[in-house]
Structures are given as structure tokens and as C-alpha cells.
């Protein structure tokens, strides 16, 4: 028996694929008239090819694969617009479809597959009706375009999605008429849509997640019960629940049948993960020494998905940056406090810094809100009280700041620890009222990064970073030393000593500056799937005034190695100063430098 899809005239070309197998001596796979891309598609669709590669030895399994390949190969032809092809599959010279199903084969000598694609069909008619306003169909679904079945499926999906976006959750394809006109190599497609009624959200039904109170789960999900259905609202509710970190998996499904008043219940299936988690980190450099960090968190402290987290960090161990620095912090986050997209944050921190120019002891306590404006954009605002006692060459002073921080973060990076594309921008304006030795003013900071990959399989990445800051309104000496700006070290200019660039005050005391601008550029290349190389250059400037003034700059450059791991690349950088200075610095850590 021959499986015919239509009449075809083909130019003969043959590809032989032969491999020994216990029950099949040879597999011949011929695709006369097929392009190289189509031939590859056919091979990937064939179960016989897979059986040969896996050295399947059972004759009955080979026969079953041969029978199944008729439909699979025809489907592959349809996918590429070939509706007039012919498929023959001969098992020891007999068409596989003609071998009785109960035949017991003990061995197979040669299987010969011949696929004649025939001509490429094009759309004669391509119609879907009715369509919701502003529905965008695939460009390929148009008269004269290649008649590929994936395009037809995509067009039907786009029509359904268009109606669902208008609240018609049960929109579906009501009927279809697809006619192949073989004499003209044309395919006519007409699809009828059934939009269905406008649907409103019913109840949110919970399955799992028993450790979180039901009313809190509904608040966090934020599903607008009683409002017109929107797929975007379902996706947002899913993301809201997932973002809590309480659940290892979250799935929201729609009820198959509508309820009274065309309402539709949504079922949330939740699988919890362990509530407690801890972690550690480490970095080392020849100048800044060893840095150790750790955290502990509870994901569901009070039964409402509240998160309690403690962080601790020790830096400067064995370094030449003054002495060890210590910091401990505690934070409490309550999701969906002022709406499903707004979280409450309470943060407390104690810190001791032993820097080359000063020694400080600081404590702070603040409260704020974090609001998600979109998938990539978050904004935050708050109020915080900060106490610090600082000793430098001028003596000891006390600074008390009542702060009103405002911030925004935009992050479209594909992977945070090893980005290959996207943008990152973080900006903060922190107005403050000064008491004690402090004056009123504000502190502005920003950090902008961009990533662009190129080459085969995007194996090369250009990464750039611009960061900076400014002290506004207050005199430089009337803000804490750790509010001032320095340059040098792993976070700013590699190859230069840690905080080696600042300013000299009129009194002759070395200090941080009132403004900072830093530039970093990297070219990253993947040598293998595990190993990468990096070339980089950094530059930094520190000024005496809020927007520059008298200041100085320095630069560094170097090479690095990256070893890729499941938790991110392990980073090893070697940097030297540029334009003055000698020696080199080594930096080791997890994740890219930025």
C-alpha cells in the first residue's frame, strides 16, 4: 500500500543512512526533491531513525515504528506546506501498512523509507471570522504565503486569545474548512470562531498551601472576583503567589463550565516548600581580603506568607583596607499589605566600618513600601532613622539623619548572575534632615547596566556599566564619611587599591568626595560550555562638588576567567592599574562583576 497525499512531480535525490542493529541490517531513508532543511525535519520526525540511533533490536517494535511513521512523516510535510507528497515505507520489500497487524516478525533485513515531498502549497484563501478588535494574526497567514500548518494553528490561537483578552474566556474554534486545490498547489482555509459570552471571575478555589491562611492567599493573589475575565489577571495572580517564595509550584486553572451569571471559578493548586532556608557566600581579593556572608530566612513566619530574614557579613579579613568590617541586618516583609502589588518592609541594621580614612559605627531602622509597577519595574518609598558615630583625622562626631528614601529599579536581564541581554537601572534619591553634626540635604545614586550578545550561539557578550552619585544641599563635612564617595576596588575600578581615590579637604584631611562617576566595560567570551574568558577596563572619577568640581580620576584593566556552575559563574579576575602605579590585584567571587 502506498500512502498518497496527492500527485507530485519530483527530482530524484537520495540520502542513505545505514547502521548495524541486532534485528535490522540497514535503514535507507530517501527524500527525492527535498531541501536540506526539509530532509532534516523528516529525519527528526521519524521513529525509525530514532530506533536506529537507539539500536532497537525487536522486530515487532521496528514494525510498529514503521507503521507510525506514515502519520509522522505526513505531518512533517504538512508543517512545511507540502500537501501533495507520497510516503512509502518498505519492510524487506513489503509496504509496512500492508503487513497484517498480527504478523510475528523475527527479524528485519532492510527498511526503505521514500518520501516524495511534492510541490510547496500556498494559501489561496486565509480567513478567520469573527475576530475581536485589535486581534493580530500571524503575518504568514495570508493569501500567497506558504501554507504551513503551524501558521494555521498560530492564527487560530491568536483568534482565540483575541476574544479571551476581551473577557470571553470560553472562546473557541467552532468550525473549519480546509481544502487543497492540487491543480493550482493552493490551500484554502476558512475558520469560524465562537466567541462565547463575556465571563466574570468567580471564586478562587484553593488546593494546597494549608500553612498560609486562606484570606491571606486571596489577598496576595489579588484575583478581581466579580470583574470581567482577563488572562493577564490570571497570570499576575500566579506570579503574585509564586513571588512569596512559600510555594515550590503554583498553577491556576479555569473551571470547564461557567457558573450562574457567566461566572468562572479559578482553582489555585499550591505545593509548599520548606519554610526555612539559609545560605553562605564568599569573595576574596589581594587588596580587600576575604569577605564572608550568610543569611537565614523564614518564608511564612505568621501564617500570612510574611518573610523574616537575617543577614550577616564580615569583610576585609586579611586585607589592607584598614581592618575588618562587620554588618548585621534583619528585615520583615509582608506581601500584599496595601494591595496585591504592594509589600510592607521593615528593616534594621547595625554596621561597623574600619576604613583607611575613618572608623564608623552605625545603626538604622526604617519602614517602607515596595510596589511592583510591571514585570520589570519596582518602586519604593519609606522613612528611616540613622545614627552614626564617626572618628577620622579631625576627631569624633555624631550624625543623626531622618531619611525619606525614594527608589526605582528596572531589571530586564535574562539571568541576574550571568546576563547576556537586557538592561538594569537602579536609582535612589534619599532626602534627609540632619541633626547633631549633620546638615539637611539629599544623596542621589544610580547604577545602569546593559548587555548585548553576538556571534554563533551568542557566545560573546558586551557588558557596560555606568554608576554614580552626588551629595546635594549639605556640605561635604556635614554628612557621614560612609555617605561620601570613593573609587577603587572590585565594585568600582579593579586594579586600583580599595577606596584609593577620594578628595583632600581644605584642612588637609583625606576624605570621600561629594560626587562620583564610574564606567566599566567587559567583553565576555565562552570558550567551552563551562569555561569563559573576559577582558575588562574600568574608570572612576571623584569630585569635591555635587556635580564634579575639582577632582581626579584613575583607571584599571585586566583579564578574567569564568567557570560556569549551576549557581552562576565562578569569577577570577586579574587587574592592573592604568596610567600610573604598579603591581596587580586578584579578585575571586561568584557571579559576573556586574
| 469 and 329 together in one domain | yes
In the structure grid, which three cell numbers stand for residue 458, read together? 551568542
Angle made by CA atoms 231, 237, 241, in degrees to the nearest 5: 150
564-577, pLDDT tens digit by residue? Answer: 998 889 999 999 99
| 110 and 172 together in one domain | no
| 78 and 172 together in one domain | no
Residue 465 CA, distance from chain mean position:
19
Q: Which residue has the cell 465571563?
A: 199
Q: What's the pLDDT score for residue 1?
A: 38
The domain that contains 152 carries what CATH number?
Answer: 3.10.20.310
| 518 and 400 together in one domain | yes
240-287, pLDDT tens digit by residue? Answer: 999 999 999 999 999 999 999 999 999 999 999 999 999 988 888 877
H or E element: which one contains 40?
A: helix 36-45
Express as a percent the part of the chain with pLDDT over 70: 96
Q: Is the pLDDT of residue 3 over 80?
A: no
- The dihedrals phi and psi of 241, each to the nearest 5 degrees, come to -70, -40
| 264 and 151 together in one domain | no
DSSP string, 3-38: EE-S--------EEE----SSEEEEEEE-TT--HHH
Q: pTM (2 decimals)?
A: 0.78
CA dist 575 and 412 (Å) reads: 29
Look at residue 456 and give its three-state secondary structure. Answer: helix
Pairing mode of beta strands 200-207, 186-194 = unpaired
Asked if omega into 130 is within 30° of 0 (cis), the reply is yes
Q: Is the pLDDT of residue 527 over 60?
A: yes
| 140 and 219 together in one domain | no
Residues 6+ apart with CB under 8 A from 374: none
Poorest-pLDDT segment among 10-24, 58-72, 152-166, 550-564: 10-24
Would you mind telling me the total number of residues written for the chain in this entry?
A: 594
Q: What is the mean pLDDT of residues 62-72?
A: 96
| 11 and 131 together in one domain | no
405-433, pLDDT tens digit by residue? Answer: 999 999 999 999 899 999 999 999 999 99
Q: What is the mean pLDDT of residues 461-477?
A: 97
13-56, pLDDT tens digit by residue? Answer: 323 333 344 456 789 999 999 999 999 999 999 999 999 999 98
Average pLDDT, the chain: 92
Q: What's the pLDDT score for residue 24?
A: 65
141-174, pLDDT tens digit by residue? Answer: 999 999 999 999 999 999 999 999 999 999 999 9
**Residue 391: beta bridge partners?**
359, 396
71-85, pLDDT tens digit by residue? Answer: 999 999 999 999 999
Of 358, 434, 379, residue with least CA distance to 402? 434
Domain boundary among 116, 139, 171: 116
Angle made by CA atoms 526, 528, 531, in degrees to the nearest 5: 70
**Residue 392: beta bridge partners?**
358, 395
DSSP string, 155-181: HHHHHHHHHHTTT-TT-EEEEEEEEEE
Of 517, 556, 532, residue with least CA distance to 453? 532
Enumerate helices (H) and strands (E) in the chain, giving the number of each. 6, 31
CA dist 124 and 185 (Å) reads: 9
CB 467 within 8 A of CB 446: yes
Q: What's the pLDDT score for residue 589?
A: 87
H or E element: which one contains 580?
A: none
In the structure grid, which three cell numbers stand for residue 461, read together? 557578550
CA dist 348 and 385 (Å) reads: 10
Pairing mode of beta strands 263-272, 200-207 = parallel
Q: By residue range, what is the domain housing residue 155?
A: 122-194
Q: What's the pLDDT score for residue 7?
A: 31
CA dist 86 and 8 (Å) reads: 8
Q: What's the pLDDT score for residue 323?
A: 87
In the structure grid, which three cell numbers stand for residue 107, read together? 527479524
pLDDT interval class at 581 (50, 70, 90): confident
DSSP string, 299-362: S-SSSS--EEEEEEEEEEET-SSSS-EEEEEEEEEESSSSSTTEEEEEEEEEEEEE-SSEEEEE
Domain boundary among 194, 225, 255: 194
Burial of 177 (0-12, 13-18, 19+ CB in 10 A): exposed
345-364, pLDDT tens digit by residue? Answer: 999 999 999 988 899 999 99
| 291 and 372 together in one domain | yes
Q: Is the pLDDT of residue 495 over 90?
A: yes
Provide the CB-side half-sphere exposure for 287 (13 A, CA).
25
Angle made by CA atoms 484, 582, 550, in degrees to the nearest 5: 35
CA dist 260 and 262 (Å) reads: 5
User: How many domains is the chain partitioned into structurally?
Assistant: 4
Q: What is the mean pLDDT of residues 86-113?
A: 92
CA dist 535 and 520 (Å) reads: 11
| 558 and 413 together in one domain | yes
Q: What is the mean pLDDT of residues 227-249?
A: 96
Cα-Cα-Cα-Cα torsion 45, 50, 53, 55, nearest 10 degrees, comes to -160
Q: What's the pLDDT score for residue 355?
A: 87
Of 555, 569, 478, 567, residue with least CA distance to 517? 555
CB 58 within 8 A of CB 93: no
Residues 244-274 as b/e (b if ≥16 CB within 10 A, e otherwise) read bbbbeebebebbeebeeebbbbbebebebee
Angle made by CA atoms 519, 502, 483, in degrees to the nearest 5: 85
In the structure grid, which three cell numbers stand for residue 274, read together? 520548606
CB 146 within 8 A of CB 140: yes
The domain that contains 451 carries what CATH number?
Answer: 2.40.160.50
Q: Is the pLDDT of residue 212 over 90?
A: yes
CB 359 within 8 A of CB 366: no
Pairing mode of beta strands 276-285, 289-298 = antiparallel
Q: What is the mean pLDDT of residues 102-126?
A: 93
| 329 and 213 together in one domain | no
| 234 and 369 together in one domain | no
Of 254, 135, 130, 134, residue with least CA distance to 199? 254
| 42 and 187 together in one domain | no
Radius of gyration of the chain (CA): 33
Q: Is the pLDDT of residue 11 over 80?
A: no
Express as a percent the part of the chain with pLDDT over 90: 84
Q: What is the mean pLDDT of residues 309-320?
A: 92
Poorest-pLDDT segment among 281-285, 402-406, 535-539: 281-285
CA dist 186 and 205 (Å) reads: 49
CB 147 within 8 A of CB 181: no
Amino acid at each position: 500500500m502506498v500512502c498518497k497525499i496527492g500527485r507530485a512531480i519530483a527530482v530524484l535525490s537520495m540520502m542513505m543512512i545505514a547502521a548495524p542493529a541486532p534485528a535490522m541490517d540497514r535503514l535507507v531513508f530517501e527524500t527525492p526533491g527535498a531541501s536540506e532543511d526539509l530532509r532534516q525535519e523528516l529525519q527528526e520526525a521519524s521513529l525509525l531513525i530514532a530506533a536506529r540511533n537507539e539500536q532497537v533490536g525487536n522486530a515487532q517494535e521496528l514494525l510498529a515504528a514503521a507503521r507510525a511513521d506514515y502519520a509522522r512523516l505526513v505531518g512533517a510535510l504538512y508543517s512545511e506546506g507540502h500537501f501533495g507528497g507520497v510516503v512509502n515505507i518498505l519492510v524487506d520489500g513489503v509496504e509496512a501498512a500492508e503487513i497484517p497487524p498480527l504478523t510475528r516478525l523475527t527479524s528485519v533485513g532492510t527498511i526503505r523509507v521514500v518520501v516524495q515531498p511534492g510541490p510547496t502549497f500556498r494559501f489561496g484563501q486565509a480567513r478567520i471570522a469573527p475576530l475581536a478588535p485589535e486581534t493580530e494574526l500571524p503575518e504568514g497567514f495570508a493569501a500567497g504565503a506558504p501554507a504551513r500548518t503551524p501558521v494555521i494553528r498560530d492564527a487560530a490561537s491568536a483568534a482565540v486569545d483575541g476574544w479571551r483578552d476581551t473577557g470571553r474566556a470560553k472562546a473557541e474554534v467552532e468550525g473549519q474548512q480546509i481544502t487543497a486545490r492540487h491543480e493550482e498547489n493552493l490551500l484554502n482555509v476558512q475558520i469560524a470562531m465562537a466567541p462565547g459570552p463575556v465571563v466574570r471571575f468567580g471564586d478562587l478555589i484553593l488546593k494546597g498551601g494549608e500553612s498560609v491562611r486562606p484570606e491571606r492567599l486571596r489577598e496576595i493573589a489579588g484575583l478581581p472576583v466579580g470583574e470581567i475575565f482577563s488572562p493577564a489577571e490570571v497570570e499576575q495572580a500566579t506570579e503574585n503567589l509564586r513571588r512569596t517564595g512559600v510555594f515550590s509550584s503554583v498553577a491556576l486553572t479555569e473551571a470547564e463550565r461557567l457558573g450562574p451569571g457567566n461566572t468562572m471559578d479559578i482553582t489555585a493548586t499550591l505545593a509548599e516548600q520548606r519554610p526555612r532556608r539559609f545560605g553562605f557566600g564568599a569573595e576574596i581579593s589581594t587588596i580587600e581580603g576575604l569577605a564572608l556572608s550568610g543569611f537565614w530566612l523564614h518564608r511564612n513566619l505568621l501564617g500570612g506568607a510574611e518573610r523574616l530574614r537575617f543577614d550577616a557579613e564580615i569583610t576585609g579579613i586579611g586585607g589592607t583596607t584598614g581592618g575588618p568590617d562587620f554588618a548585621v541586618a534583619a528585615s520583615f516583609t509582608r506581601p500584599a499589605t496595601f494591595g496585591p502589588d504592594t509589600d510592607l518592609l521593615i528593616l534594621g541594621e547595625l554596621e561597623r566600618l574600619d576604613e583607611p580614612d575613618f572608623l564608623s559605627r552605625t545603626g538604622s531602622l526604617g519602614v517602607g513600601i515596595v510596589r511592583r509597577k510591571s514585570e520589570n519595574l519596582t518602586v519604593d518609598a519609606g522613612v528611616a532613622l540613622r545614627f552614626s558615630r564617626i572618628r577620622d583625622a579631625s576627631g569624633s562626631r555624631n550624625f543623626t539623619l531622618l531619611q525619606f528614601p525614594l527608589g526605582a529599579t528596572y531589571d530586564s536581564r535574562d539571568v541576574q548572575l550571568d546576563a547576556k541581554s537586557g538592561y538594569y537601572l537602579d536609582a535612589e534619591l534619599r532626602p534627609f534632615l540632619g541633626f547633631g553634626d549633620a546638615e539637611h540635604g539629599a544623596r542621589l545614586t544610580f547604577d545602569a547596566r546593559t548587555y548585548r550578545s553576538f556571534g554563533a550561539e551568542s557566545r560573546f557578550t558586551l557588558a557596560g556599566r555606568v554608576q554614580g552619585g552626588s551629595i546635594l544641599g549639605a556640605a561635604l563635612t556635614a554628612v557621614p564619611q560612609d555617605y561620601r564617595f570613593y573609587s577603587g576596588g572590585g565594585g568600582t575600578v579593579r586594579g586600583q587599591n580599595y577606596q584609593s581615590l577620594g578628595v583632600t579637604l581644605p584642612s588637609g584631611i583625606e576624605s570621600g568626595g561629594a560626587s562620583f562617576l564610574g564606567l566599566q566595560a567587559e567583553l565576555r567570551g565562552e570558550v567551552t560550555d563551562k569555561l569563559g574568558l573576559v577582558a575588562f577596563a574600568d574608570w572612576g572619577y571623584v569630585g569635591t562638588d555635587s556635580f564634579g568640581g575639582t577632582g581626579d580620576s584613575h583607571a584599571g584593566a585586566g583579564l578574567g576567567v569564568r567557570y560556569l556552575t549551576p549557581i552562576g559563574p565562578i569569577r577570577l579576575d586579574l587587574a592592573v592599574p592604568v596610567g600610573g602605579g604598579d603591581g596587580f590585584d586578584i579578585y575571586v567571587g561568584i557571579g559576573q562583576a556586574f
